[in-house]
Amino acid sequence: MSEQTPRIQTTTVGSYPVPDWLANSPSEQAVIDATRVIFNTQREAGIDLPTDGELYRFDVNHPDTNGMIEYFTGKFSGATDRIGRSDALQYQQKTEMAFRAKPAAVVNGELGEGSLNLYDDCLRAEEVAGGPFKFTLTSPYMLSRTLLDNHYNDFEKLTMAIAEVLAEQVRGLPCDCVQVDEANIPGSPEDGPLAAAAINTILDAVDDGTETAIHFCFGNYGGQTIQSGGWKKLTDFLNELRCDHLVLELAHRPDDDLDALKDVDDRIALGLGVIDIKVNHIETAGEIAARIEKAESVLGENRVRWVHPDCGFWMLKRSVADRKIEALAAGRDQYLGIA
């Protein structure tokens, strides 16, 4: 950090509500214009490391998860998103994915990049970012959970195959931070070693000098938590990760989750959720400052390096998201005594 950089920095997690004009008339130019607006909105609010809103994934046919699944699985070679009745019935036997009625794709051959091109997606954002920014992609473990595998017939091999494809995608990305998003492992801590190996495959491919982050949450579907469990059972898994910092859901979590993070290795900087994205309530600067103070009282001063929302903003109205972003920066400034 430079002398001008606050010891606790602000960032957003990834997604942003799709602007009406993009939804009504989607085009390449509309995506570029909307991305520019999203960057400017965050910077004007005081966010240190904004994201592009993940608009590179925007698809009117898949609005429910902000494209974090289908954008990737629909582009892989060796897989098809043409799902038949028998495919859906077979996939419904996967009880851990009961909230999905059908697979995102069916794997019928060796997976490859297909038409996936994250470099171009990141470059589009870089051209309008106006400063440092973070670029996000979905974890191999989470993606593999959504697939019907008729080729590898082995969940570990499928997950690592996806990891290898994504590792090639993150090389040379023109951004300041690469973040991997994972919302499924918190409910399946027993798969921690596999998920860590897959995520580390991606992290190891990121260019030297580029910050690496991993976002974990317990899911957000219609404002509801999808995964059960807590951070206590995940600390060994977190300590296996070769990342610079974590981006963790905490504003919506019980108090003992914060206490569990004392066991996270000091080499990994902690990023804590202090904005609840599952409610429309606009936090005050005082509420944010109090949450940071509470975290530091438990974890120790200088342990918290980042504050952010619990998850992405895609399910909220823009008017709500924008005010929450402003509150995040104002609360951090109030806690640190920044004028």
Average pLDDT, the chain: 91
pLDDT at residue 59, as a whole number: 80
106: its two tokens: 């069916």
Is the pLDDT confidence value at 62 over 80? Answer: no
Main-chain dihedrals φ then ψ at residue 34, nearest 5 degrees:
-65, -40
Domain total for the chain?
A: 1
pLDDT tens-digit readout, 140-196: 999 999 999 999 999 999 999 999 999 999 999 999 999 999 988 888 889 999 999
Does residue 1 sit within a domain?
no
Residues 292 and 124: their CA atoms lie apart, in Å, by 34
Structural domain boundaries, residue 272: 9-59+115-336
Is the distance from CB of 267 to CB of 240 less than 8 angstroms? no
pLDDT, greater one: 250 or 44: 44
137: its two tokens: 């992609």
Does residue 105 sit within a domain?
no
- Which CATH number is 221's domain given? 3.20.20.210
pLDDT tier at 1 (50, 70, 90 boundaries)? very low
pLDDT tens-digit readout, 285-302: 999 999 999 999 999 989
Burial of 332 (0-12, 13-18, 19+ CB in 10 A): buried
Does residue 216 sit within a domain?
yes
Does residue 328 sit within a domain?
yes
pLDDT tens-digit readout, 190-243: 999 999 999 999 999 999 999 999 999 875 555 555 555 677 889 999 999 999
pLDDT tens-digit readout, 304-332: 999 999 999 988 999 999 999 999 999 99
Is the pLDDT confidence value at 63 over 80? Answer: no
Does residue 13 sit within a domain?
yes
- How many CA atoms within 13 Å lie on the side-chain side of 336? 21
The DSSP string of 269-319 is: EEEEEEE-TTS-----HHHHHHHHHHHHHHH-TT-EEEEEESS--TTS-HH
